[in-house]
Every structure is written in structure tokens, then in C-alpha cells.
Structure 1
């Protein structure tokens, strides 16, 4: 059966028309199962009917002409129950529906399985036989497996408009198809799909002994310089669209391409006896592997950047254009790719770019960060998107909810056009709030801070009205080196962040590596890195690393004294006691070196469930607490929020999450210690309302969300927010809580702020 299944899948994959694919499926399944009938009924959700779209064994003139209501017949029963139905006397079943047009009355045995794609019913597949018998378990399993394969084929056909839909009238509107990803950058974009893809494949390169090492070194040098020129050119195209601080990303790329960085390692591999292409693959894939293992979503996404640079060098080594792209772009381009990169962004004229879609990646991808800075609506992680078939197709991108619509009908187009016009008006309104405080109608003020990773985030955050930094990730300098950065190198980088926000506070998280965050020069291999040697556990085991970093932070704060130090992934008080001892020691050593620095405030991140139950003990030891809502939610729910397959299980408003958040703030306040939230929940206007009502002292978020959160908080009273919290905190469903919050904020006049609610 496995061999038969493999052959059917291969044959179906080679067919371009859905009608032909369905014919192949019913013919091959009928033959493989040695039954007399195999049929496929597709479900029309608008009409709530099952239409016979392909058959072997029933009358061919019934195809497209015979249909059943959703509640009719055995087919309707399979669809309603969404599980197989296997019976040996179909005509005697109470739900049997006789259809004379098909000539099916002689068939006794019936096996029907639903065709489901991502929880959506697409149709029903049926096999029938004259003899009265039940199909065995192996036959049933085979048909279920085949229906799962067919579901993907049908979904792909919907994306391109190549669906077997029988219009009832000539004026009937065309059907639109929806695909789900992750929100990358807010906004909506309407336009024409342009598919762009790399022209070189690193994974396909083989190792080969070079005829001449010198020749290979020379070839690599030329390719490396060509890649540098290409990055400079692409960066130049974005010069007028991005701030100098954001353009620094392209400087980071150039640094990676430096002879002393990636270039040096590839040359070393060539000298050891591999040709240029093989050496390049060897070094790049090693880097990619290290980054992809990391739990931190922001750092994990750096694998895409490394792979893109390696692919560009390989393209020049092979004499290809770096990317496969059109000569001209339509005025309303929607850029689609398997994996978007910042360099691809520079290839499209910015005045023509309306939106972007990527099959891989997440909201932490560099391209998503730049898209937010440029205001380009973006969807990431659309894993089931048949992206190669979308070139030239009409598309709508909903960056608020992570949705893509292909072949949108007129009604959907009108809805999103209206949203686009509202966006333009809202942007003008929010500009006037930049220098206003986040203060409620009844006078409660809550500071709004930002999360930063690169210096590219810093000045943009200032311009959005940020009052400080709630989380600065210090890992980035460590990732860009082939060794631990020196104390002076770290000091220079930290100083830049502290000066940008002075006199407002900057909260620097100590190094969060280890386990799944192994550096190339500090490898760690573990069976379960998510629960392994990482974060504070690694740095406390290596005080020489911890002390150097803390001293660099303190020295960088001289004369500014706006530094706060935060300890990540704390799970017990002994870790805090040990860390505090080292921090006090570092302060004394810094003073002894002649630096006049104050002892900074020290806090802990609450992101491990165990820490939720030790708030009182932790608060007695530190100056502040900060909830990492992303990781805390992820660990509480046991759901990887960056895995699109289970993304719908990641519920920020899950009752368990809200109860934990309330417990944290109550116990922290009982100890008289301030507590903040740094995570996506704080940047969600609905989440911000609840967190303020719970009593959190500060919210830290992505700079893009700051104006919207401020607008909502300034438009409500704290009493209103507390009443809303009391209403939802007792609810049992995260989905119901989210819907209630959205409805209440819409009633309060914030429908534009919280994003569209398009029925599609």
C-alpha cells in the first residue's frame, strides 16, 4: 500500500489541473483497493452542498451535476461527523440517500472519509462495492492517508483559482481562498503577487577536492567581493526609506562578509582540501545549524540572514544572478517568497511595494523588523501556502491577523480598501500622541518602554515616544563574533544603547546562551536543549563570562547611571543569590579601576512557571521584576509560539496565563517591588488594558505598537479597565476572553486601533 500511495502522490503532483488530479486519484484508488466505485465530493461552503466532482464506477454525466445538501445522505454524515464511515449495507442505513442520476443503488458496501485541511472540511472521498462487506482496517487507513494528501492538492488549487466550482449564474462572484500565517508587520495591502526565489541552492553542493587551492581561493575572493557589492547596492536602494540606524543592518551583513569573519573560515576550509563551493556550504550550514537550534526566536531567525548571504556568494561562484526576479515590478507588488530576506526587500522599488508574504520565518525575522519600520504589511510563516503558483495572482495581505487571500471577490476587496483608508487616517491621529504621556482619563499614568535588540531599534523607539528600555538583548554582539567579545568591545556597544536613551532607564538582560543557544565557539550538545543548560545556569557556571559582561555594562553607564541589569530564566532563589554576589563583586572591581559608577538596580525575569510560585522570595532579593510574557505563556501552555502548526494553541489570553499574571503582580506589590511586562502581550492594546488593570507598573513592547497602546490607555479610565478585568478573569476560554476584549474595545470606540475584523 505504501508503494501504491507513493506512486499516486507522485502522479498527482505532476498534474497541473485539479480536475485531472481528481481523475487520477479516483482511478488509481479504485484500482489499488480493487473496488467498483471511487468518488470525490467537494464541499461548497456557500451553498452548504457536496458536489460530485470525480468518479470511477458511477455515471460520468453525473459529475458536476449531482449534489447533496450538507445534512443529506451518507456523504453528509461523513462530513458532519468528520470521521470515516465504514458499513456493509448502505441502503439499509437511515441516512442513505438514493441518487438515481449516479446509478449507485446496487452498491452495498460503503467507506467514506472526510477530506480536511487545517480543520477545514473540503469534501468527502468514497469507495463502494456491490458485495456486502466491511472494508478492513488497512483499506480504511489507506483511504484516510490518501484523503490527507488530496486535501493539500485541493487547497493549492483554491489558492490559484484552479478549483472545480460550478457557477450557478454567469454573474456569480469568484471564490476567494484564505491562508493563515503569523503577523509580521501590521497593515493591509492589495495587489499582484510577484514570486521571488534564490537562484542557488547551498544544500545541493557536494564536497570536492580542488585541482588548485590557489585558484579556488581566488574564485572565492571574487565571489565574496561581488556579494559585498550586491549588499551595498541593495542597501543603497533603501537609503531613503530607512533611518541610518536601521541601515546599520546592512553594515552587519558586510561585517559578516569580511575577510576576518565568514571569509576567513571558508578560506580555512579551502586550504584543508575542499573546493570553494563545498567549503562555503560547510561553513554556512554549520552557522545555520547553530542558529536554528536556538530557543530565542529573535536569534533563531538569524539563520535566515546567514543562509541568504551564503546563497548570494554561491550564486556568484556559479555565475548566476543572485536571485531569480522579474525585470519589472507592477505598481502594486506583493512580494512572495519561500523565505524573505532583507536583501530581497531592497530589490523591489519601495514605491511599488504594497505588502510581503513569506512561507518561512516569524515576526522576529530581520525582514519583518524592517517591514515594520517601513510600514509594509507582512505575513510570515504561511507554511501551507503554494507560493510558487501565486505569481501574477490578485492577493490581499492582512498583516494584523497574518492572513493572505488569493483571488479576492469584490466584497472582500471593498472591505479591505475601507480598512486601508482608515489606516491612513489613524496614522495621522497617532502622530499627535508621540509626546503625550500614557495617562488614563482618571489620571493613572503608566510608563511605556520598548524592547530592543539591535541599535536599529533604538532611535526609532525614541521617535515613537518610548520612555525607556524594558529589555535589551545582549546576545547579538556574541553571535556576530567568532570568539567572546572583549570587555572593551562590549562596553562600546552597551554605551551606545545607554546614551541613546539617557537619562531614561535601559534594562540589559545578561547573556542568555547555552543549550539550544550554543555559540559556534562555545558548542553545547544536549538531548533536550529547551530544558537544558542555558541562560543564568550557563553564566553562573562560567563566572568569568558573567563578570566581564557585568563590568562592561557598569563601565558603559559611567556618567549616565541609567543601567538596570536583569537576570534571565531564573528558576530558584539560589541562582539570584549567586548572581547578586558576582554583581556586587563586579561593582567593587569597577570602582577599583577608577570608574565612578553607581550600583545599578538588579531584577529578575519571570518566565519559568516555577518562578511564579516564588515571587515573594525573589522580590525580597532584587529591585524589580519583569515578566517575559512570551516565554511564560509558551512554557505554561507547552506550545512553541513560532511553530505555525500549533500557533492556534498559543493563547495569550488563556485563563491559566491571566491567573499567573495576576498572581505575580499581587505578590510583587505585597513586597513593595515594581513589576513590569516585556513581551507581545504588553504591546497588544487589549493585553495592555488588562495588565494596567492588574496593577503592573510598566509595559515594554515593540516600538511599532507603542502609539496604539498609548492611544487606547489615554481613552479609557482605570476603573473601566478594572471592571473589564473582573469580567474576563473568571471566564474559562481564552478565545471567549479575546472576543470579549475585542468587542468591549470596539464598543469603546477603538475598533480602528485593535485592527480589522473582516468576516471572510
Structure 2
């Protein structure tokens, strides 16, 4: 038995087998081949494998997202069978006697450049598709996996670290728990683990040994331990611990259907944070009053190109419809910092957390911003939608946002598209926003305090820097005073105020927030009932 210590992200017990998640690096090289026909045959075999993968992806997307979303994989299949594309690859292999990987890459880049230069927007978008299918064939030729989990049973994922994009791309139904050697308990990957309601450990002192792959293991999120090949007595004890967690959960489920009301009659809205439509199941299961934070940026991660207006519309429509009139607050695109997306081509920054991110990108790339706003307003008739804008530091930004919103509404109305009233609010996550919060409140309907970034900026501590985790203190008096000031000033300016950061789930502070006058707390779905219990005991 090997026992490893880590930092717990979510309490709970997971029992299963280890799946060693290794990132395979590939460096493209141009090589000469002796037998061009054998290389052509190798390429054609890889192409057939790729078509099989696309068939599987089509069926998965059809079941999970509908025919419209699945059609992209049919498009990829057609492009992969395009005569000109295939002739260019095989011709290059035969004429230059080069390896198939190089021929596919070169041809893909050439075809992508042609599509990108076209005037038609639809044809321009095919540029990314060519790169995607070429990359798929190259990975098959090179024997590189696609990052999927090759296991029939759910597993405990063991990795050096995981980016938000990787976390989003993984098949969640196959994951019992995350365990990483690196990473921060305050990262977005950790936040995703909490939203998935699975135990997770970061900064774990475990070696990534191949012999661990397939080994029986237990993740103890209560004590922050990983047990590899646990002894029989230890396993029996952990099974009992897991059963106790189940009993505790059963007690909390007795609160389903009850109000979030303190003993002296104060009502607090308890909402849930989500990152995808799949998370709505957990929101409904845990009886949240609404969605206080829909992290829309996760729709942009794990893909090769921008999500279209139609794609976003269908997703927002699905979430709003399933919530049946309960409020859904959609945060506009919050890309940047630790959430990097290649196709955005963001500049390299020394300090990205304080750089070109969130609303700063949206107010610079108006077309991207308007696409998202159009999708939200089109979907607004299917439920109760609200929009909040991240990383606000000035009244000037809000005024510009409201101008763009009015333009979008006017365009949709002129096109005969029905829209519904949508509440507008902002994230308060910078000291600047706190200090002018009374003025900001006059321009919006609500505030949602992002305690993760507010703590980071108030304490001047990078929340991704694991070496600073010991001094990252979200209970710091300065942070709590910032929250109190925001609530008081928000109410003075006529806005209701909520908290959507991870601190909202900290039940040791629930009474403090209620005493401050908080109107709403939005947390990962798994924390909703525990928070309800804490509120009802105040």
C-alpha cells in the first residue's frame, strides 16, 4: 500500500482503478521514405480510422446535443473524402517521397489558407475544419491518443496537471475522481471538479508511474489522501467512511423543497453555478432556486474555432427551457488568464490575470461579443435570462456595454425576432469596482461578487500559484470588508447583491454574509443543500 497526501478540492470518497493520463507530445518532422506506395497505404488506413472516429462522434453528438450539432462531424467526413484533398496528399507523398504526417500537415495548411482567404463567411469557417481533420489523421498516423479515457468503467484520473480545456473535453461519465501532482485548489480546473461533484486532490505527492495504471485506489477527499493498492483493513474503513458520506447526503436531501429562510424570517436566494448544459441535471437534483453563474466561456474551450451564434443559441435555449422560468444568469465570455484558447490568438503576457481578458476582449472584439449577446437575447423568450459582465472597473465600460446591448436588441427586433426583458448585472471582482460600487449600482440591476478574483486582486496573490496557497486567505479582513462595502453600496444604488465565487459555499461565513445583507449565494450544485441547512439554522 502507498499513501499519498494532497490538497482536497471536494470532500467525498471515490473507490476505483487508477487511469494514468499522460499527455503525448508530437513534433512534426519531414522524413524521406523508401517506399512511397507503402506510405500512401499507411495514410489511407489512417484516413479510414479517422472516418470511423467521426462516425462515433456523430452518434455521440446526436444523442447528447441533437442533429444540428452532430452535422459538423458529417461535414468533416465529407471533407476527409474530398478528391482534391486526397489527391494533394497522395501526390505529395509520391512526388517528394515524404512521410504521410508531413504530407497531411502541408496539404492541410495549404487548403486551410485557401478557405481563410475567401470572402464567404461559411467558407472561411471551413479553414478550421480542414486543420481539424488534418490534425486527426496526423494523430492517428503518429499513434497519439486524443486525450480520451480508454476505459469501459469509471476511473480515478491521475495526471501531472489538467488545463480547463482538457477538463472540459474529458468524458465526465468515466471519471470518479481527479488526482494531480500540481495545480491549485483555487484554479478553474478545481472549480470544475466541484461542479461535477467528484472528489479531487491537487498538489499530491504521488509519482506518475506506469505500474500505477489500473491499480486499485481510493481518493479520500475528507483527509486529502490517495491510497494506492490499499490494505484490506484500510479499504474496509474507507468503505465505511464512504457510506457515512452517503447517509449525510440522504439527510440533506430531506431539505429538498424547503425554503432558504433563516429562523427570523430572512429569505436568501440559493442558486447554482454551471459550466455546461449537462450541469443542469445537478442543479435540478439539488433543488437550486436558479442558476447564478453560467460560465459561458467553457463553450469556447476544447474546440478549434469560435462557437457560432446558432450553437450558442441552442445551448442557452436548452438551459433556459429546462430551468422552467427560474432565473439563469449568463456570464459573458471570460477568456484570458488561465483560460487560454488558441484560436483567439491572444498575445503572450507576463501577467495575464491582470491583462487582456474578459470584458476587455469583448469590448475590443465587438463581433465576438455581439454574437454571444444575440444568442442570449434570442434564447431569452424560453425562460428568465439575466446577463452579467466580468472584470468591470469603470462606469464607462458599463455605458459602452449598454450601447452595444441596445444595438443588438434593435437589430433583432428589426429582423422580426422576438426577445424578452433581460436583467443586466456585473461581476464585482476588482478593488476598483468595490470602491466605486455605489456609482456602478445605479447603472445595473445586480452585482455578483466574484470572491475568487476579488481575493486574488485584493491580496496581490496569484490564485494559480500553488506555492502561495498557504497565504491565499479568502477570510482576510480586507476581503470581507470589500464584500461588506459592495453589499452596502449596491443596495444604496438600487442593485441586489449576490456572491458567485467559491467563498459563497463556505458555511463558516454564511451567517457573516447574511448579517452583511447578502441577497443571493450561488455555489456549485453539490453545495446547495448544505448551504440551505446553514441558512435555516441562523
**Fold shared, TM-score > 0.5 on shorter chain:** yes
**Structure 1 pair 484/189, CA: closer, same or farther in 2 (3 Å)?**
closer
Aligned residues of 1:195 and 1:387 also touching (Cα < 8 A): no
- Tell me which residue corresponds to 1:259: 76
Match of 1:621 in 2: 443
Contact 1:182–1:362 (CA under 8 A) maintained in structure 2: no
The equivalent of 2:112 in structure 1 is none
Deviations 1:683-740 (A, max 9, x none): 23224343223211001111111121112222x12xxxxxxxxxxxxxxxxxxxxxxx
TM-align CA RMSD: 4.7
Shift of 1:256: 7.8
CA distance change for structure 1 residues 487 and 387 in 2, over 3 Å: closer, same or farther? Answer: closer
Are 1:558 and 2:384 counterparts? no
Contact 1:677 1:699 in 2 (8 A): yes
CA change 1:481–1:371 in 2 (3 A) is: closer
What residue is the counterpart of 1:156 in the other structure?
none
Cα distance in 2, alignment partners of residues 187 and 569 from structure 1: 33
Residues 1:438 and 2:266 are matched in the alignment: no
How many Å separate the matches in 2 of 1:186 and 1:410? 22
Aligned to 1:181: 7
Distance (whole Å) between structure 2 residues aligned to residue 710 and residue 575 of structure 1:
35
1:454 to partner: Cα distance: 1.0
Q: Deviations over 1:294-322 (max 9, x none)?
A: xxxxxxxxxxxxxxx99997775356998
Match of 1:385 in 2: 206
Write out aligned runs for 1:730-741 (5 A).
none
Whole-angstrom distance in 2 between the partners of 1:622 and 1:381: 40
* Structure 2 counterpart of 1:427, from 235, 242, 249: 249
TM-score by length of structure 2 reads 0.75
1:534 is aligned to: 357
Equivalents in 2 of 1:283, 1:508: separation in Å? 40
SS in 2 for 1:649: coil
Task: Pick the aligned partner of 2:502 from 662, 680, 689.
Answer: 680
Per the alignment, in what secondary structure is the counterpart of residue 686 of structure 1?
coil
1:422, 1:515 → 2: CA distance?
Answer: 39
Quote the residue 2:129 is aligned against.
none
**Contact kept? 1:471, 1:508, Cα under 8 Å:** yes
Partner of 1:473 in structure 2?
A: 295
- Structure 1 position 544 matched with structure 2 position 367: yes
Secondary structure (helix, strand or coil) at the match of 1:626 reads: strand
Going from structure 1 to structure 2, the CA distance change for 1:610 and 1:708 (only over 3 Å counts) comes to same
CA contact (8 A) 2:148 2:170 kept: no
Unaligned runs of 5+ in 1: 1-159, 162-176, 237-243, 285-308, 718-760
Which residue of 1 is the match for residue 24 of structure 2? 201
Contact kept in structure 2, 1:190 and 1:397, CA below 8 Å? yes
Q: Which residue of 2 aligns with 1:630?
A: 452
Matching residue within 612, 616, 622 for 2:434: 612
Q: Distance in 1 between matches of 2:50 and 2:65?
A: 20
The answer (yes or no) to whether the contact 1:280–1:314 under 8 Å persists in 2 is: yes
Q: Structure 1's 599 and 360: CA in aligned 2 closer, same or farther, altered over 3 A?
A: same
The question of 1:571 aligning with 2:393 is answered yes
Q: State whether residues 510 and 568 of structure 1, in contact with CA within 8 Å, keep that contact through their aligned partners in structure 2.
A: yes
Change beyond 3 A, Cα 1:367–1:537: closer
Are 2:474 and 1:648 equivalent residues in the alignment? no
Determine if the alignment matches structure 1 residue 706 to structure 2 residue 528: yes
Following superposition, the deviation at residue 588 of structure 1 comes to 2.8
TM-score, with length taken from structure 1: 0.55
Paired with 1:400 and 1:585, the residues of 2 have a C-alpha distance of 50
Q: What residue is the counterpart of 1:593 in the other structure?
A: 415
How far did residue 626 of structure 1 move? Answer: 0.8
For the pair shown, which has the larger CA radius of gyration, 1 or 2?
Answer: 1
C-alpha contact (below 8 Å) 2:4/2:226 kept by paired residues? yes
Which whole-Å CA distance do the structure 2 matches of 1:230 and 1:448 have between them?
A: 39
Deviations 1:605-654 (A, max 9, x none): 11122111110110011111111111111222233334433333322222
Matched residue SS, 1:222: helix
Q: Is contact 1:559–1:596 with CA below 8 Å preserved after alignment? A: no
Paired residue for 1:509?
Answer: 331
CA 1:315–1:585: 2 relative to 1, 3 Å = closer
| Cα distance between partner residues in 2 of 1:326 and 1:556 | 36
Structure-to-structure mapping, 1:707-726, within 5 angstroms: 707-714=529-536, 716-717=537-538
Please list every run of 5 or more consecutive structure 2 residues that lacks an aligned counterpart in the other structure. Answer: 109-132
2:183 touches 2:466 (CA, 8 Å); kept in 1? no
| Deviation for aligned residue 1:277 | 4.5
Question: Which stretch of the first structure deviates more once superposed, 643-652 or 705-714?
Answer: 643-652
Cα distance in 2 for residues equivalent to 1:688 and 1:541? 38
Task: Answer with 393-402 or 541-550: which moved more.
Answer: 393-402
Preserved CA contact (<8 Å) 1:513 1:535:
yes
Distance 1:435 1:196 in 2: 41
* Offset of residue 408 of structure 1: 7.4
CA positional deviation for 1:421: 3.1
Cα distance between partner residues in 2 of 1:460 and 1:579? 32
Q: Is the 1:334–1:357 Cα contact (8 Å) retained in structure 2?
A: yes
Quick one: distance in 2 between partners of 1:362 and 1:281? 36
Contact 1:474 1:509 in 2 (8 A): yes
Residues 40 and 100, structure 2, Cα contact 8 Å, conserved in 1: no
Instruction: Tell me if the contact between 1:231 and 1:254 (Cα under 8 Å) persists in the aligned partners.
Output: no
Alignment deviations for residues 92-140 of structure 1 (CA, whole Å, 9 cap, x no partner): xxxxxxxxxxxxxxxxxxxxxxxxxxxxxxxxxxxxxxxxxxxxxxxxx
> Counterparts of 1:658 and 1:441 in 2: how far apart (Å)?
24
Of structures 1 and 2, the one with the larger relative CO (CA 8 A, separation 6+) is 2
Alignment of 1:453-472 (within 5 A): 453-472=275-294
In the alignment, the residues of structure 2 paired with residue 405 and residue 540 of structure 1 have an alpha-carbon distance, to the nearest angstrom, of 48
Q: Distance in 2 between matches of 1:598 and 1:372?
A: 29
Distance 1:689 1:279 in 2: 64
2:141 pairs, out of 309, 314, 317, with 317
- The CA deviation string for residues 587-619 of structure 1, in whole angstroms up to 9 with x for no partner, is 233333333434421111111221111101100
- Does structure 2 conserve the Cα–Cα contact (< 8 Å) formed by 1:181 and 1:644? no
